[in-house]
Amino acid sequence: MAIIVQKFGGTSVANPEKIKAVAERVMKLHRQGNKMVVVLSAMAGETNRFVDLAKQMQKIPDPREMDVLLSSGEQVTVSLFAMAVKAAGLDCVSLLGDQVKIKTDTMHTKARIKSIDTDRMCRYLDEGKIIVVAGFQGITEDNDITTLGRGGSDTTAVALAAALKADQCEIFTDVEGVYTTDPNVCPSARKIDRITYDEMLELASLGAKVLDIRSVGFAKRYKVPLHVRSTFTDTEGTWVVEEDKSMESMLVSGVTYNKNEARITISKVPDTPGTASRIFTPISDAGIIVDMIIQNTRASHLTDMTFTVPRTDYDKAMEIVEKIAGEIGAESVTGDQQIAKISIVGVGMRNHSGIATTMFHILARENINISMISTSEIKVSCVIDEKYTELAVRALHDAFNLEKENQPEEV
Amino acid sequence: MAIIVQKFGGTSVANPEKIKAVAERVMKLHRQGNKMVVVLSAMAGETNRFVDLAKQMQKIPDPREMDVLLSSGEQVTVSLFAMAVKAAGLDCVSLLGDQVKIKTDTMHTKARIKSIDTDRMCRYLDEGKIIVVAGFQGITEDNDITTLGRGGSDTTAVALAAALKADQCEIFTDVEGVYTTDPNVCPSARKIDRITYDEMLELASLGAKVLDIRSVGFAKRYKVPLHVRSTFTDTEGTWVVEEDKSMESMLVSGVTYNKNEARITISKVPDTPGTASRIFTPISDAGIIVDMIIQNTRASHLTDMTFTVPRTDYDKAMEIVEKIAGEIGAESVTGDQQIAKISIVGVGMRNHSGIATTMFHILARENINISMISTSEIKVSCVIDEKYTELAVRALHDAFNLEKENQPEEV
């Protein structure tokens, strides 16, 4: 008797008919003897409606109250889902964030899960009940509602799967799985059958929208086999799993891009110990996540510091940085919101040199200038001018032969 | 520094503009130095939308899940309200049923409040915060969401006022106050300035829709001065208060009607001890509230038992009663859903005889047959054929001179 966690996004539960279809799918697996835990998002469109309402009340809506508002959306879908299952004669119970005791930190609108209490869920599963959990939401120590930010329902699903030691966690979405790159940008993009947690982590953090990065992190840490698939077909999607030998033959698994970042540069910063800390502590305290950081040393103990932040946090970050720049005696602060980060990812890179060089070469051939570079064991990222994004993605996808299932050993 | 609880219904918070207007009203009193606690309903129309959605999922929606669904409506209005107040530069915090710890029994969709924890609210009030509480909802010992049934937000407001020992509790609605009868039925209906808790209890239980009966009961028990008034004007409404001498000069305060009940008669019941209990225990266990009960003794130890139940519970009640009728050897069960209960209410009745007789006389004069009669110290109710409702109301309102502020001592 397997424990299966299934997560369905907003387009999968957009109206009563679709909720019933999802219930049918879940009940089928329940009838086959599986213990089912379902995580739902709000109906597609609800979150936008709430954001619109909130903005009519307050220019920058209060984060605590925003979470109270947003979390009501999942409350609607889980209760309707439970009714649909009960109407079909099976037992089902809905649980909200506070009822599962999904404890988070207090960072409203992008909280992180600290713990989950499985007692109540295990009791219900033993009683043969299907459990439907409101995704995206948690609760602080003080019983305040929090939400987990973009893709939060994925995180809820994987965290539940980890806590319940589920046999698998299926993320249902409106695409067929994880692709070698965005099919809208590159027509030869191919669905990947199997991918490692590490590759998926890099892809997710680099802009692939199909899975939230925190959910992949959870899945990796607790070794939860993750299956990303379409709500609207029975086709297998992409399995995100632990690495095995066969995967290393793939030099590059995917090409990804991210247009949601902005660049900030502080010029001529006095290069003394503690400077980086003075710059980044207040940014981090404001809940802004800094991605790439590059520091170039100049002559006479001065340095230039460049980093990227989410584009939505750009104004707030600039305000903070301009204040600090004055305090630490930096010369100037400049920024650019029209950037894109292009990345290639693959576990095969570990054992092969020259992948980064190939990437730089291809971008140069297309006359695309690189303004920042960052690398890890299994990825290379370049920041370029936003307008070259699609061109760069297609050129790299072609150069690394990603349209083919089995790539040559070397390119 | 007074503590004031104000409750605004669905039409008062139907859209962002109206929510802002309500926030202005509350902030004005806050700026005058009062400690403000606001209770809100869901936006007008939301509850109907949810009921429609639920019925698409399950013919008779599961009560526990219905409460999860319905309670999301208040979550939306309280968070938007808090944002509106914060946008104006004052501090405000929204609290849901579980955050105020409004503990109820487990009777889903019509739960009763057992206790309220004021610690968190008092702390916030001392900090100068305006508190906005989601009306209509509570929480069971097991942390399941409950709702308090029709008019539940009134009950929330008065219960909070009682728990906080508030100086007054204002119920804002879309009418100007409590009327001598329904102005839609009787054009000479007059707004009442002051009315006693007991009269209001009778009026509310007899069908006056302006206030929920449980909220009046709470107000009476904890001596909370209740002010029923319009959201859309600054005019004083109706104060519901303790009785004083001047009130006794009014023989009748109001005429009310209720078309939401149905009659059930069990004929030729063996008249043995315990019969009434055998009939009414299972009805009560099903959560059905029986209103009037009349028993007529026949010859040869047989009796007829007639009672009324809410019309929405009629089918369920008939099913139960037919089963019991077979078990206890009654001859037959009949019912009628086309009834109305017409009542006159007034504390002055206590010291004057002949009020009931006058009522019977007036109904007879209009050729209206009375099928059941029930009386208390301060009211007389008659069940009549539903189609005569409006005629009966107007005739009684005229006969007792309710259009005049000061009635004659005798009619």
The residue of B15, B20, B65 whose CB has the most chain A CBs within 10 angstroms, and thus the best one to mutate to test that interface, is: B65
Please state the rounded mean pLDDT for residues B350-378. 85
With vertex at residue B277, the alpha carbon angle to CA B276 and CA B281, rounded to the nearest 5 degrees, is 125
Question: Can you say which residues of A are annotated as belonging to the binding site for ATP?
Answer: 7-10, 173-174, 179, 209-210
Least confident of A63-72, A345-354, B301-310, B363-372: A345-354
Is A144 in Cβ contact with B99 (below 8 Å)? yes
Is B16 in Cβ contact with A68 (below 8 Å)? no
- How confident is residue B247, by pLDDT bands cut at 50, 70 and 90? low
- How confident is residue B374, by pLDDT bands cut at 50, 70 and 90? confident
- Judge whether B16 is closer than 8 Å to chain A, CB to CB: yes
Shortest CA distance from A101: residue in chain B: B143
Question: Can you say which residues of B are annotated as belonging to the binding site for ATP?
Answer: 7-10, 173-174, 179, 209-210
Q: Are A171 and A245 in contact (CB under 8 A)?
A: no
B328-347 in b/e form (b: 16+ CB < 10 A) is eebeebebbeebbbbbbbbb
Strands (E), B231-338: 238-241, 254-258, 261-270, 293-297, 302-310, 332-336
Average pLDDT of chain B? Answer: 90
The residue of A20, A59, A80 whose CB has the most chain B CBs within 10 angstroms, and thus the best one to mutate to test that interface, is: A80
Q: Are A60 and A156 in contact (CB under 8 A)?
A: no
Separation in Å, CA of A93 to nearest CA in chain B: 8
Rounded to the nearest 5°, which phi and psi values hold at B106? -100, 15
A-chain residues within 8 Å CB-CB of B71? 75
CATH 3.40.1160.10 residue window(s) in chain B: 3-174
B-chain residues within 8 Å CB-CB of A57? 16, 19-20, 80-81, 83-84, 87
Cβ-nearest to B143 among A69, A87, A99: A99
Please state the rounded mean pLDDT for residues A172-179. 88
B-chain residues within 8 Å CB-CB of A58? 83-84, 86-87
Q: Is the pLDDT of residue B411 over 50?
A: no
Tell how far CA B84 is from the center of its chain: 30
- How confident is residue A299, by pLDDT bands cut at 50, 70 and 90? low
- Distance between CA atoms of A40 and A168, rounded to whole angstroms? 17
DSSP string, A105-164: -S-TTS--EEE---HHHHHHHHTT-EEEEETTEEE-TTS-EEE--TTHHHHHHHHHHHHT
For residue A217, the model assigns a pLDDT of 86
Least confident of B193-197, B230-234, B241-245: B241-245
Report the share of chain B in percent with pLDDT over 90.
Answer: 67
Please state the rounded mean pLDDT for residues A255-264. 93
For residue B365, the model assigns a pLDDT of 92
- Judge whether B50 is closer than 8 Å to chain A, CB to CB: yes
- Judge whether A62 is closer than 8 Å to chain B, CB to CB: yes
- Judge whether A78 is closer than 8 Å to chain B, CB to CB: yes
- Distance between CA atoms of A184 and A224, rounded to whole angstroms? 30
SS3 B151: coil
For residue B208, the model assigns a pLDDT of 65
Closest CA to A172 of A214, A215, A211: A211
For residue B410, the model assigns a pLDDT of 44
Q: Is the pLDDT of residue B309 over 60?
A: yes
pLDDT one-digit tens code per residue, A131-172? 999 999 999 999 999 999 888 999 999 999 999 999 999 999
The residue of A18, A51, A65 whose CB has the most chain B CBs within 10 angstroms, and thus the best one to mutate to test that interface, is: A65
| Residues 6 or more apart in contact with residue B321 via CB below 8 angstroms | B264, B266, B279, B283, B333
Shortest CA distance from A88: residue in chain B: B58
B260: amino acid identity, one letter: N
- Distance between CA atoms of B183 and A247, rounded to whole angstroms? 79
Is A62 in Cβ contact with B78 (below 8 Å)? no
Q: What is the ipTM metric for this complex?
A: 0.76
With a CB-CB cutoff of 8 Å, which residues 83-142 of chain B face chain A?
83-84, 86-87, 93-94, 96, 98-99
Closest CA to A400 of A342, A361, A350, A358: A358
| Residues 6 or more apart in contact with residue B1 via CB below 8 angstroms | B33, B34, B35
The residue of B62, B83, B136 whose CB has the most chain A CBs within 10 angstroms, and thus the best one to mutate to test that interface, is: B83
Q: Is the pLDDT of residue A204 over 50?
A: yes
Q: Among all chains, which residue has been given the structure tokens 């936006």?
A: B43
B-chain residues within 8 Å CB-CB of A87? 57-59
Is B68 in Cβ contact with A94 (below 8 Å)? yes
CATH 3.30.2130.10 residue window(s) in chain B: 244-411
B-chain residues within 8 Å CB-CB of A145? 96
Please state the rounded mean pLDDT for residues A197-213. 79
Q: Is the pLDDT of residue A411 over 80?
A: no
- Distance between CA atoms of B97 and B81, rounded to whole angstroms? 16
pLDDT one-digit tens code per residue, A318-330? 999 999 999 999 9
Report the share of chain A in percent with pLDDT over 70.
Answer: 95
For residue B248, the model assigns a pLDDT of 58
Please state the rounded mean pLDDT for residues A266-277. 84
Please state the rounded mean pLDDT for residues A374-397. 91
Pick the more confident residue, B43 or A245: B43
Query: For chain B, how far is it from start to end, CA to CA, in angstroms?
Result: 46
For residue A208, the model assigns a pLDDT of 65
B72: amino acid identity, one letter: S
A-chain residues within 8 Å CB-CB of B87? 57-59
For residue B274, the model assigns a pLDDT of 78
- Judge whether A364 is closer than 8 Å to chain B, CB to CB: no
Is A71 in Cβ contact with B20 (below 8 Å)? no
Please state the rounded mean pLDDT for residues A49-53. 96
Q: Is the pLDDT of residue B206 over 80?
A: no
pLDDT one-digit tens code per residue, A396-408? 999 999 988 755 4
Cβ-nearest to B79 among A56, A69, A79: A69
pLDDT one-digit tens code per residue, B266-294? 998 887 877 888 888 899 888 888 888 88
Cβ-nearest to A57 among B16, B61, B98: B16
Question: Can you say which residues of A are annotated as belonging to the binding site?
Answer: 7-10, 47, 74, 173-174, 179, 209-210
Show the tokens assigned to B296. 């007529």
B384: amino acid identity, one letter: I
Closest CA to B19 of B63, B68, B67, B74: B74
Is B86 in Cβ contact with A58 (below 8 Å)? yes
SS3 A262: strand
- Distance between CA atoms of B45 and B50, rounded to whole angstroms? 9
Instruction: Please give the CATH architecture assigned to the domain spanning B3-174.
Output: 3-Layer(aba) Sandwich (3.40)
Q: Is the pLDDT of residue B91 over 80?
A: yes
pLDDT one-digit tens code per residue, B397-407? 999 999 887 55
Is B143 in Cβ contact with A98 (below 8 Å)? yes
Cβ-nearest to B19 among A57, A72, A79: A57
Please state the rounded mean pLDDT for residues A237-248. 81
- Judge whether A21 is closer than 8 Å to chain B, CB to CB: no
Please state the rounded mean pLDDT for residues A333-346. 94
- Distance between CA atoms of B210 and A169, rounded to whole angstroms? 51
Tell how far CA B93 is from the center of its chain: 28
A-chain residues within 8 Å CB-CB of B62? 82-83, 86
- How confident is residue B151, by pLDDT bands cut at 50, 70 and 90? confident
CATH 2.70.98.30 fits A246-411, yes or no: no
Show the tokens assigned to B266. 């069990």
Least confident of A41-50, A149-158, A372-381: A372-381
- How confident is residue B56, by pLDDT bands cut at 50, 70 and 90? very high
- Interface size, chain A vs chain B, as Cβ–Cβ contacts under 8 Å: 109
Please state the rounded mean pLDDT for residues A93-97. 97
Pick the more confident residue, B99 or A371: B99
B189-221 in b/e form (b: 16+ CB < 10 A) is bbbbebbbbbbbbbbbbbbbebbbbbbbbbbbe
Residue A254, beta-bridge partner list? A345
CB atoms within 10 A of CB B42: 28
Cβ-nearest to B79 among A59, A68, A143: A68
Separation in Å, CA of A39 to nearest CA in chain B: 16
- Judge whether A54 is closer than 8 Å to chain B, CB to CB: yes
For residue A405, the model assigns a pLDDT of 72
For residue A375, the model assigns a pLDDT of 81
- Judge whether B19 is closer than 8 Å to chain A, CB to CB: yes
For residue A410, the model assigns a pLDDT of 44
Q: For domain B244-411, give the fold.
A: VC0802-like (3.30.2130)
